Every structure is written in C-alpha cells, then in structure tokens.
Structure 1
C-alpha cells in the first residue's frame, strides 16, 4: 500500500468516529426544570456552561411543570461557572461571560398547565417570543429539558414565531407532566419543526454498555474528581454518577448539521412521523385495551352539570408510582356535565389507575391498561393529532433498540466519544 493510500485510509477511519464540525454557531435557548426533583439538569447545565464557547445561548428559562425548579438554581450554576471560567479560558476563546448569562436567565411557569394547555404569559414565555423575533438568518433552537408550558404559552401569545423556532425536546417523563401543553401544541401547531425524543436519550446513561465503554459510575472518579468548583458540585448529584438525560439535546447541536435529524449524530438519529397517537375513552379501560407508551390518553366521562368554571380541576386520576407513592393527575370540568383528563404513560407497563372526586358519579372508578414498548406504535386512531412534515422522533426499528430503549443505539454508539471529549475539559479544571 503506497503512502497516499495509507493517508486516505487513515482519514476515512478518523471520519467514522470523529465529531462532525458545525459550520455556524447555533442559536439556542434552554428551557429547564433545574432545581426540581431530578438533578440530572444540574449535570446537563454544567456540561452546557463548560461548552458555552460553541453556542450562541440566548435564554436560560426555568420551566418546571413538576417540582420546585427555579431561576435561582440557574444562577447558582452560573456562579460556579464564574469561578472556573479562568481555567477554561486558558484553552479556548469565546466562553460567554457570567454577567451575560445571568441577564438571560428567566423564570417561567412553575407547575403544569390546565386542560386547555396554556394559562398566562410568564417572564420566560415572553423571553422566548423576544428571542424568536430577533432578525437572524438562523433559526432559534429551543432545547427542552423540562415542561412545554412556556413554549406552548409563547406559541399561543405569538403564533407567528412558529416559523422562526425549532425544538429538540426531551419528552418521556417530561411529556407525562406536560400532557396538556403537548396536546395544545400538537393540535394547533402541527407544522412546527419539532424533534420529540421520548427514549433515545436514556442510552447516554444506559447500563447496557459494551465491555469497553466508559461506565457512568466510574466517570467521576476517573475524570471529574478534583476538577474545580464544578467538579466538587457534581458529586452532589447521584453521588457523581453521570445521568445527564438532557445533554443529548446539546450533543445534537454540537455534531454536524442540525437541520437534518435523520443523520447520525452524538445527540441521536431520528425519523419522521406523521401522527401523534391520541386515544379517547368514554369510560375506564381493561387489560383488553393497549396503547403505545407516550401516547395521549383522554378519558371523557359524564357526570352531573355543575356551576363551576370550565377548565376547573374537580377530579383526580391516581396512579401508583411505587408502594409508597401515588401520583395524582388533575381532571377538569368542560361544562354541560362533561369531564375529561389527559394522561401520557412514560413506559411499558400494566397501568393501574382510579378516579377520585367529591363528585360521587366519578369517584371510585378503576381501570387497567396495557402500555406497549413501541412508539408511536402501529395502530392509527381517527382521533390522532395529524403532524406536518417536520416532526421527528426516536427510530422505531428493532435494530436501534438498546435493550428496551427505543432508538437508544443511535446515541449509545457515541458514548465513549462524548464522555472522553468532556473529560478533556474536566482536565483543564484540574490544572493549577
């Protein structure tokens, strides 16, 4: 083999594994539930700030549809970043200033939206509109790490921004909490450019790793421990185990052309889908009924006419989370004796539930439902939300499953590259 052939072979081999360059710094806005019940957002925020030289970050919005997330936690993470910034700047230019980042941190809605899917404007939703209306040749990418409430509110208040934004949303459990806002967006903005990731992201912290893959539980001791203020803080989340489920949205923007979701990238590879499953039941279900996980279930129940405002919560769906925890979901009065609730199951299981209410006709109804592990599933329903040509989701082929994780292999294959690249930046924070 001559020298030219050897060089060509080496270049091709590198191109199979190397990160693909992003030609234009993407405009991004983060919508996060950081500070709530799941600290993976803190891990992802550390990752974002340590790579802030790669992005034009235009907003950091606190959008917790569940839990106690708040803007103060975003500001606390920026304070840590400020302390470690001098070491990062020794190696790269273009890191965003802490004062700038503080100026774009905004408080959004705390808590999920009622049945209609939106409520009233927040500082966060107004900021989304302001950023989306900026004159730019590039779209504003909204990376959703939490609820959809502020995005839905922004679209409701300024529907014209639909053409200026693109959304990469970590769904799954977030979709369960944001059922009403998701339904509002799918029903009213089917032509929105939207990547709905309900499962692939799990593989960034999958336990189904190949033997030679970096173990998430080992990563802290090998690469993070002793790495500045971020490193010390990281130990507070899952005892340092890497579980940053929102980071695939950033990885997607770091690797190749984000305008092509079907490409291979660190943040996953996705396929188009044209319908979002919406199944309407007029009574409780049984084990004869089955739906795909992450489908919208609507229960429409009849009861007495009440002199209460429409869209008022007046009954609850109780779902056992574990033996010590029962989650409660609000159902609403729609008027004229009609009651309804939207619920989105996040995983394959036998779903057990019951309705409770001071309204005797609703109280005590119980049901079961089989949840399948294929999204969006093979069934079509006349009540489905019809989507436009730019809605994408996890790849459905069995070849891409990582164990039970649909589409997981599209991220798992890059896990070592992702974590070793981040390890370089952690090493900068260990320098004297």
Structure 2
C-alpha cells in the first residue's frame, strides 16, 4: 500500500511538475569537502552525491578540513557503504561509477586553515585539482567546495593558468569564516575567476518554511530513508537523521537548469553578479559604533613589539564571543612591529573580542563591533574588486527566508528535490 501511495504522490505532485529540466550531459566535477570535521552535514551531502553519482563525471573527491579532523578515510568509508548498496542502485541505472573508480580519485588536502598569505605548501589534493583542471576537455571542471578554500587557493597559486579551465561553486557562510585568509588571497589575486559565492542561499535547502509535513527535516528520514540500504542506515548517524545537507545545493545547481548562467533558476538556486567583495580595515580597537557587513572581511591592524620572527607567523590570539559561544582565531606578525588578523562574521549580531599573546610587551586589548545583515552592501574604500564572473546570493528582500539572503531561490525547489531523492531511496528497499 505504501508503494502505491508513494507512486501516486510522485506522479501527481504539482511541485514536481514545475521543476526545471535536467542539465544535458554529465558535468565534470571535483568536490572539496571537510567531511569528518565538526559538522556532519557533509556526510549527509556525500550520501546524496553517491546516490546521484550516475549524473556526473567525478574527477576528484578531496578531504580539505580547514577546521576539524576530517581525512580522506572519511570519504573512503562513505564509498564502502555505496559499494554495498550499488547492486540495488544498478538495477535501476547502469551508469553508476565503480567504487574503485571513486576511490582512485580520493585525495588528502590540507589540514587546518592557511596562514595569513592564504596558501602554504602543495598537498595531494591541491596537486590533484591542478591535474584535473589541465585535462583537455570541451567542458569546464566544476570545483564544488563544501568547506574551506585552502586547497583551491593552493592550486591556483601553484598553477594560476588553470583559472580559465575551472568554475567554482562554493558554499560559503560559516565556511568563509574558517577560510578568511584563503578567501582574501583568491579575491585579491584571482578576481576574474568564475566563482559562485553562496553565503545565504543554501540555507533554503534545510528550511521547513511552507514544506509539506512528510518532507520536513525531522520527518523525512522516517518517511523515506528508514530501512533503505546501508547508506540509509548510516544516515541516522548524522543529526539523528534530521535533514541538513547544507552543501547539497552545489550539486543541485549542476543537476538542473543551465549551470552556465547563474542568473537562471535551478534546484541549487539563482544568483546575481557582484562587483565588489566588502572589506573593512581598522587600525584601532573597534567599538559598538563600528558596523560591518555579514560575510565581509574585517582586518584588524595594530602596532606592537618588533620580533625576530618571520612575517606570516601566527603569534597572537583573538577570542570572539558570539551567539554560538567563544571561538579562537590566530593572528599574524607582518614584520616591523605590525600585527594583523582577518575575521569574517557569519551572521548579524554584536561581537565582543579580546586580543592577547604570551609575547612580552604585546598590546593586549578588547573591542566590539556590530554585524549588519547586508551583503555585499554599498561599496567602501577598502573593498576588493571582482570581475564579471563573480556571483552571489540575490539581494531582493522578497527572496530572503528569514535572515538568509537568497534562500527562497533554493527553498522553492526543496520539495521537488526531496521527492526525486525519495524515489532513489525506494530503490534500496
């Protein structure tokens, strides 16, 4: 009886009938993920990817944990589950890649954030990005970044010519906060990179606003995933099966609509061009009278003792008190008694911070600033300039879902996406 009801919903759902057309061909993709780090939503998104792996030419799966302890092994563990479920998936579609083919493109990227300059030394992951980007093809290589930008920044530093061969779709937001140095390096040195910076839109994928009861985040597992193969059993380990999957919209963007034109609608959202990336430089402690935009680069500069250490050395700590609690960030010596730290706020709030170090005569101090929900906002004198192919969340207030800019461009397709995925889960029963 359940199967009959499901097929009825599948065939006659008005949401599905309004979905976009699948993209032609198989996009070449490379996924850089911080799977295994502090947020298990990457495991959920990896499950989704594996169940749709027939839709892509997968050229790379890179472990790039700018924060947390993720490794390549976390990717291999997910592929092992896929291998167990592959016989059932293949009954419905013969185009799934072999587990060994996926294992062969798993690479280890950088552990931890890059230093102030935004890059460090090559990794297996960054070298693999270069290798894939250099493949001769009529298609671009889509680099889908689910975490920090460190390996992408390293690859572009080591082989800047590859920027014309790649298109980047990045789930920013909190990931941008952990990757401030690499982001600043990219936007400063590669402003003409083809780049989607999704800071708010992706939130629409785990919004319950206007969603049918059976597709709500807390209900979907019991309704569609429970009892569906090894991947389904494992899914319960992440958020107790409650849907988040904040990185999935980068995949959805390539599964539907016209990826070459971010202004068009797609399951993964719709985006608009941005002409500047906001940055504010402060040469003094800040106060509540100072306001910065959400997702913008905040640079705090100050003077201190001259040290016999190399520039770009981490030597002090900024502790930030935010709504989620206290977090610590490294600051850097620039030489000649100059110190700097880059910080990117992820949400609107009032932040309090302290700066301290074990260095003798270090000028410890504290400050505050207000984060406004404006992105990218009005141009400022310190902003980075970007080229004609840098895109971000739509600023139309009607497309906000709560505080999340552009989120309704993803939310409007959420039911269609989850019902499409439910059909694939049924293959594993």
TM-score range, shorter chain: over 0.9
| SS at 1:201 equivalent | helix
Instruction: Determine the structure 2 residue equivalent to 1:35.
Output: 36
Looking at structure 2, the residues matched to 198 and 21 of structure 1 have their Cα atoms a distance apart, in angstroms, of 24
User: Does residue 78 of the first structure (1) align with residue 79 of the second (2)?
Assistant: yes
Looking at structure 2, the residues matched to 15 and 421 of structure 1 have their Cα atoms a distance apart, in angstroms, of 8
Looking at structure 2, the residues matched to 147 and 15 of structure 1 have their Cα atoms a distance apart, in angstroms, of 33
For residues 300-356 of structure 1, the C-alpha deviation after alignment (integer angstroms, 9 at most, x for no partner) is 111111111110011111012468x52111110000011001000010000111101
Instruction: Determine the structure 1 residue equivalent to 2:357.
Output: 357
Map 1:169-188 onto structure 2 (within 5 A): 169-188=170-189
Please report the TM-score for the alignment, with normalisation by the length of structure 2. 0.95
Instruction: Determine the structure 1 residue equivalent to 2:293.
Output: 292
Looking at structure 2, the residues matched to 23 and 250 of structure 1 have their Cα atoms a distance apart, in angstroms, of 14
Cα contact 1:349–1:371 (8 A) shared by 2: yes
Instruction: Determine the structure 1 residue equivalent to 2:271.
Output: 270
Looking at structure 2, the residues matched to 56 and 264 of structure 1 have their Cα atoms a distance apart, in angstroms, of 23
Q: Cα offset for 1:361?
A: 4.9
For residues 7-30 of structure 1, the C-alpha deviation after alignment (integer angstroms, 9 at most, x for no partner) is xxxxxx899613312112100000
Flag the 1:45–1:211 CA change in 2: closer, same or farther, 3 A: closer
Flag the 1:151–1:425 CA change in 2: closer, same or farther, 3 A: same
Looking at structure 1, the residues matched to 103 and 365 of structure 2 have their Cα atoms a distance apart, in angstroms, of 49
Cα contact 2:322–2:350 (8 A) shared by 1: no
User: Does residue 343 of the first structure (1) align with residue 343 of the second (2)?
Assistant: yes
Instruction: Determine the structure 1 residue equivalent to 2:9.
Output: none
Q: Cα offset for 1:360?
A: 5.2
Cα contact 2:60–2:128 (8 A) shared by 1: yes
Looking at structure 2, the residues matched to 404 and 391 of structure 1 have their Cα atoms a distance apart, in angstroms, of 22
| SS at 1:90 equivalent | helix
| SS at 1:68 equivalent | coil
Flag the 1:369–1:362 CA change in 2: closer, same or farther, 3 A: farther
Q: Cα offset for 1:203?
A: 1.3
For residues 346-387 of structure 1, the C-alpha deviation after alignment (integer angstroms, 9 at most, x for no partner) is 100001111011235544311111101121122x22221100
Cα contact 2:180–2:343 (8 A) shared by 1: yes
Flag the 1:270–1:322 CA change in 2: closer, same or farther, 3 A: closer
| SS at 2:92 equivalent | coil
| SS at 1:354 equivalent | strand
Range 19-28 or range 147-156, more displaced? 19-28
Cα contact 2:354–2:367 (8 A) shared by 1: yes
For residues 225-270 of structure 1, the C-alpha deviation after alignment (integer angstroms, 9 at most, x for no partner) is 0000001000000000011000000000000210000001100000
Instruction: Determine the structure 1 residue equivalent to 2:25.
Output: 24
Cα contact 2:114–2:120 (8 A) shared by 1: yes
Cα contact 1:355–1:362 (8 A) shared by 2: no
Looking at structure 1, the residues matched to 334 and 244 of structure 2 have their Cα atoms a distance apart, in angstroms, of 40
User: Does residue 402 of the first structure (1) align with residue 401 of the second (2)?
Assistant: yes
For residues 154-210 of structure 1, the C-alpha deviation after alignment (integer angstroms, 9 at most, x for no partner) is 000000000000000000111000000000000000000000000111111114334
Looking at structure 2, the residues matched to 210 and 237 of structure 1 have their Cα atoms a distance apart, in angstroms, of 21
Instruction: Determine the structure 1 residue equivalent to 2:414.
Output: 415
- How many residue pairs get matched? 418
Cα contact 2:32–2:146 (8 A) shared by 1: yes
Map 1:19-418 onto structure 2 (within 5 A): 19-210=20-211, 214-321=215-322, 325-359=325-359, 361-378=361-378, 380-418=379-417
Looking at structure 1, the residues matched to 19 and 289 of structure 2 have their Cα atoms a distance apart, in angstroms, of 48
Flag the 1:262–1:361 CA change in 2: closer, same or farther, 3 A: farther
Looking at structure 1, the residues matched to 333 and 79 of structure 2 have their Cα atoms a distance apart, in angstroms, of 43
Flag the 1:364–1:336 CA change in 2: closer, same or farther, 3 A: closer
Cα contact 2:316–2:330 (8 A) shared by 1: yes
Flag the 1:370–1:361 CA change in 2: closer, same or farther, 3 A: farther
For residues 110-143 of structure 1, the C-alpha deviation after alignment (integer angstroms, 9 at most, x for no partner) is 0000000000000000000000000001000000
Looking at structure 1, the residues matched to 84 and 48 of structure 2 have their Cα atoms a distance apart, in angstroms, of 15
Looking at structure 2, the residues matched to 133 and 306 of structure 1 have their Cα atoms a distance apart, in angstroms, of 42
Q: Cα offset for 1:149?
A: 0.2
Looking at structure 2, the residues matched to 209 and 128 of structure 1 have their Cα atoms a distance apart, in angstroms, of 40
Please report the TM-score for the alignment, with normalisation by the length of structure 1. 0.94
| SS at 1:216 equivalent | coil
Range 101-110 or range 325-334, more displaced? 325-334
Gaps of 5+ in 2: 1-13
Instruction: Output the aligned Cα RMSD.
Output: 1.7
Flag the 1:74–1:403 CA change in 2: closer, same or farther, 3 A: same
